[in-house]
Chain A
């Protein structure tokens, strides 16, 4: 029964993926393709955040730091060495390793403590990376940033679109497999009742650190893709705004669902696009963080399951199946 419904949803996801794969050959405009590519990239980023917030109940306020690590590593490698495929592979490897080390250190330091510590420490660490990117001018050229070349075959907007889409699909199914594995079940157990999970004999800290490392790696990879599509880097990749965006995507889309963050990424990116177009209509649209912040507060209070979560709980009300993420928020 479960297997059947699962393969049905898998079919739907694959169908959507195929449609998206054909899409760039119909919508050939560069700016449209670019925007959808951004959605894919932020969807990957938001899914990595969902692993922490949605599945394990860990709040990070510095997720931009991993995104920025991926972004700057790629940019610096592409700038310093020739823009070859080999250099890109090395850059990806370094970005992933660097993110893994940082997330491991932050995780080991704070995940044994109450959840507030992780939120605070990630906020502070992200601030540190932002300052470092501004001050270490010889490496990052500070706030101005720099442009760089990417490997020849990735310069076409359709190619980068398809590469991002393929990465999104692979990472989505990979993470889905992970969350449905025994490992993922333990993560959900930690979210629902940490003391009980401990008393059942699980080494909770190991699980939490491991999931934060996985999340950091995926976020860093999203940063790599972001750079390949943008070909320009500056300190804004480390800004709090990036963290806020990914928080919103995850929460509005639906925590603990993986599909939700993808939907959220699409919504937020489209909203960004739409609101920046409205900036000359009324000044309030220049202060879009107010709108976002208000929506965010209202969603947290009244709508903690997000879009996908709410729809799922409505659908399953009739049947016996229960939504596991009642408490998440």
Chain B
């Protein structure tokens, strides 16, 4: 019981982190059919920038804020310099974002050094709650709470506000929204920046969770996010939450019972989804 509970919490926490990464990917894809292979680079920049501030000021809250700002700025740069010149050409987009991913990853090593960095959770999030014989680690609960909070916020923004309406309409039919006189490029840029900020936030939250950060983490983690986007359905926001939790739980349980197969099990889930529901579990209705 104790084991299952703690593995579940682990899985949910991992799932939330993957969700934060996948949410941006899926919305960006839905809006402009751009698949951003550089997303993992934004993740890792968020992690390093946040941890750097965390080392200096010892304030985790400040680290989170800096990570989000880093994400917003890098998102703007990526959209302007990398994606905009090759709009409308899928092959070029895919190629160029992967190239940018590599540059971002290597720049990390130039700016912050090539070594791994150890990170501990802040004092107020260290330790655990004890409920009966179940031990719940505070930091993991914190991640789950933040993830759910962000999901609800974005969900409400998408469902209840005008800007959310425009984004959802854009996902369904971009050209129609344009004919209604809305500057979809601007909406896209905003969504891209928010997506980048979510990725960076995911990075900085992931740092104390895994205890160590390194430059290659971005690509490794973004593979999980890709799997999630495929399972959840490209463009589906809610789908990415469910798929992320599924992948997170599968990852946590397999990592405990059969560690060698933890990536394989997610690939297996994705393969099954691709065979039977290639559009993903949650298809965006057009």
Q: Interface of B with A (CB < 8 Å)? A: 29, 33, 35, 37, 82, 85-86, 89-92, 94-96, 98-100, 102-103, 105-107, 109-110, 219-220, 223, 226-227, 229-230, 234, 260, 263-264, 267, 270-271, 274-275, 278
Contact = CB atoms under 8 A, between A and B. Distances in A.
A123 B223 contact: yes
Contact of A287 (B29, B89, B106, B270): B106
Nearest to A109: B274
Given A109-B274, A120-B35, A59 B103 contact: no
A61 B99 CA distance: 11
B92 A124 contact: no
A251 B267 CA distance: 29
Given A109-B271, A109-B274, A127-B223, A119 B94 contact: yes
Interface of B is mostly: helix
A244 to B, nearest CB: 7
Interface residues of A, number: 43
18 contacts: A59-B95, A115-B91, A116-B35, A119-B94, A120-B226, A120-B229, A123-B226, A124-B227, A127-B220, A127-B263, A131-B264, A135-B260, A240-B219, A247-B98, A251-B95, A289-B106, A293-B103, A296-B102
Nearest to A61: B98
A144 B105 CA distance: 24
B35 A124 contact: no
A301 B234 CA distance: 26
B94 A124 contact: no
Nearest to B105: A289
Contacts of B275: 109
A125 interface: yes
B99 A300 contact: yes
Contacts of B227: 124
Contact of B267 (A114, A119, A124, A287): A124
A136 B259 CA distance: 12
Contacts of B102: 244, 289, 292-293, 296
